Structure 1
Amino acid sequence: MTGGDLAARQAELVAALVAGGPLPAGFAPAPVDAARRALLRKRGGDVARHWPLLAAGLGAAWPATFGGWAAGRPTNGSLRDGWDLARELRDRGVLPALGAEELAVREAAARYDGHRPPRPRRLPAVGRAGGAVAVQLAGRVRLLRPASR
């Protein structure tokens, strides 16, 4: 096996583990599936550390909600993964109140287009999600209205 072949097989395995790619030939499905589930749990824990209110708002549904959303998606980092998940839940109308407040605060504090890393806002800004409203003035973010519970 040449170095290029090995690199290609490694890339296939990584895609199967973290991006929903097909199982590469020569690998047993059960161990790869177990590793995929373990990596999703670890990734979910990392996202929950960056988005504690979102995870708390989902409670016992957090692992299944995050796992279902993240399966088949490569990570963009814990902060961005949480942001993308919160926006998707908001768009589907199922974002819990705590997650809405956390998202509103993040939206007021930083600019995030879903593609590039978030950047701090310099000008006054308002963030809204699920009835929650946050405002950023002079670098300070305040939650003006909590989400409906």
Structure 2
Amino acid sequence: MSVHWGPDAAGPLAQRQAALVDALVAGGPAPPGFDAADLDATRRALLRKRAREAAAQWPLLAASYGDRWPSVFAEHRAGHGPVGALRDGWDVARAVTGLPPGAAAELAGREAAWRYDGRRSPRPRRWRRLLGRVRRGR
């Protein structure tokens, strides 16, 4: 018996699973056979979970909005697939106009220390890498 892995391994099942994931996290349409209200409730729950995770990476940003944080997060990240808590929060911070002072300072600190182009994972800026080497004695 041979086992095949990959996107075509399960044929229609893999396609249905991909459609469901797309509907839940990337704003895709509800796949046939799924209740739209149930999908919407699950989608909102997943966004709240992502908002909590982003708040752990961006505490000043989240605290700046208090109880409104989950809705601010959802406003900017709904329809976008998850890219990790750090990047999700970074994308929200960049998208919000008129950031509160604490959030603006947090974003400025990240922007000074890291390079992030919105597509790839953040990377330390060159001076930060060099400073790390100096501290390690290399």
TM-score, structure 2 normalization = 0.83
Q: Secondary structure at the match of 1:114?
A: coil
1:47: which partner in 2?
54
* Structure having the higher Rg: 2
Q: How many residues align?
A: 123
The runs of at least 4 aligned residues of structure 1 exceeding 2 Å deviation read none
Unaligned residue ranges in structure 1 (runs of 5+): 125-136, 140-149
Contact 2:48/2:70 (CA < 8 Å) preserved in 1? Answer: yes
Does 1:66 find its partner at 2:70? no
Following superposition, the deviation at residue 138 of structure 1 comes to 3.7
C-alpha RMSD over aligned residues = 1.7
Superposition pairs of residues 59-138 of structure 1, within 5 angstroms: 59-89=66-96, 92=97, 94-123=98-127, 138=131
CA shift at 1:27, angstroms? 0.6
Q: CA offset at residue 122 of structure 1? A: 2.1
Secondary structure of 1:21's counterpart equals coil
List alignment gaps of at least 5 residues for structure 2.
Answer: 1-8, 133-138
Contact 2:76 2:95 in 1 (8 A): no
Matched, 1:24 2:31: yes
Identity of aligned residues (%): 59
How far apart are the structure 2 equivalents of 1:88 and 1:69? 7
CA drift of 1:50 comes to: 0.5
Structure 1 position 34, deviation (Å) = 1.2
Alignment partner of 1:15 is 2:22 = yes
Taking the aligned partners of 1:39 and 1:29, their CA distance within structure 2 comes to 15
